Amino acid sequence: MSGHDASASGGSGGLVVAPASAAEWALVEQWAADENWNPGLRDVACFHPTDPGGFFVGRLDGRPVSAVSVVRYSEAYAFLGYYLVRPDLRGRGLGRATWRAALPHAGRRTVGLDAVPEQEPAYRRSGFAAAYRSVRYGGRPAPVRPPGERIAAGVERAAPDGLDAVAAYDAPCFPAGRRAFLARWLAEPGHVAYVRMRGGTIRGYGVIRPARSGHRVGPLFADTPEDAGALLDALLSHADPAGSVAVDVPEGHASARAVVEERGLAAQWHTVRMYAGPAPRIASARIFGSTSLELG
């Protein structure tokens, strides 16, 4: 997700922008948590190997003060997120300077991002065009199935030997192939993944993971609302009954909204998906929940 632009006034003298260390990016994760983005606890551990050089911080006197990630997923697609400046240093041009230094990492690729609404005009001026809104649904879920029936027929835990099939199902839903990422995402400690099988073929899959607060679901990809609901019920069975769950749903997907609303989740806020370059074609009807607003 891309948030505060700190370029309203002043200069950015002395700022040095360079790839972040693991310790520095842990600090950036805390900044994101402070903005109520609620990142997953192990998100960066899974995403970082996709493009280790794509996570940048701006430093003043050796201390991180700004950040942005520009993760290259393929020769055609990159995703920009974590556009942040330390709150006490906003308004000095540090955000824009960090952006300008990091964005060339994307090369000639189409670049996607999820913008907080107040920054949409700024991104438009930088060449990004709005594609759709994503709505964060959250709250304490109320699964529609009784506890003993939450794992519906045809819903199974994702197995390591099924990775190729999951990656093949995922491919039309995301602008780049990401098998290596999925190998980490599905197996990361704390992550729980299910697939929906019908007729011996995958008809959807989903992942739930612990976040700074409660749990996040993503991705949730499925052929039909019934498939998505069956997967979501299975995933919710692994959440803390007293905790919250969040799912990021494309606003225009009425069936996806109905699936999460039926399970007690409510719309909380939204972001705007934007692209610089040709908007990628994806199987949007399958997308009942995005993987991550921060990292694509």
- The full set of domain ranges for the chain reads 16-131, 136-289
DSSP 46-99: HHGGG-GGGEEEEEETTEEEEEEEEEE-SSSEEEEEEEEE-GGGTTSSHHHHHH
Neighbours of 213 (CB within 10 A): 13
And the tokens for 220? 């949730």
The confidence score (pLDDT) of residue 12 equals: 61
The confidence score (pLDDT) of residue 7 equals: 35
Contact 119, 5 (CB under 8 A): yes
Show the 3-state SS of 11-26: CCCCCEEEECCHHHHH
pLDDT tens figures, 215-260: 999 999 999 999 999 999 999 999 998 899 999 999 999 999 999 9
**Confidence band of 106 (pLDDT split at 50, 70, 90):** very high
CATH number of 136-289: 3.40.630.90
Distance separating alpha carbons of residues 142 and 130, to the nearest angstrom: 33
The confidence score (pLDDT) of residue 2 equals: 65
pLDDT tens figures, 51-77: 999 999 999 999 999 999 999 999 999
Instruction: Work out the angle between the directed axes of helices 179-187 and 163-170 (0-180°, nearest 10).
Output: 120
Distance separating alpha carbons of residues 191 and 74, to the nearest angstrom: 25
pLDDT tens figures, 142-197: 877 776 677 889 999 999 999 999 999 999 999 999 999 999 999 999 999 999 99
Q: Which fold has domain 16-131?
A: Aminopeptidase (3.40.630)
Contact 267, 135 (CB under 8 A): yes
pLDDT tens figures, 7-33: 333 346 799 999 998 888 989 999 999
**Confidence band of 112 (pLDDT split at 50, 70, 90):** very high
Q: Print burial letters for 182-195: b (CB count within 10 Å at least 16), e (below 16).
A: bbbbbebeebbbbb
**Confidence band of 1 (pLDDT split at 50, 70, 90):** confident
pLDDT at 34 over 50: yes
Local structure of residue 214 (DSSP, 8 states) = S
pTM: 0.93
The confidence score (pLDDT) of residue 8 equals: 30
Distance separating alpha carbons of residues 4 and 174, to the nearest angstrom: 26
195-206: average pLDDT: 96
**Residues in contact with 44: Cβ distance below 8 Å, sequence separation at least 6, in sequence order:** 25, 29, 55, 295
pLDDT at 121 over 90: yes
The confidence score (pLDDT) of residue 21 equals: 86
Distance separating alpha carbons of residues 278 and 11, to the nearest angstrom: 33
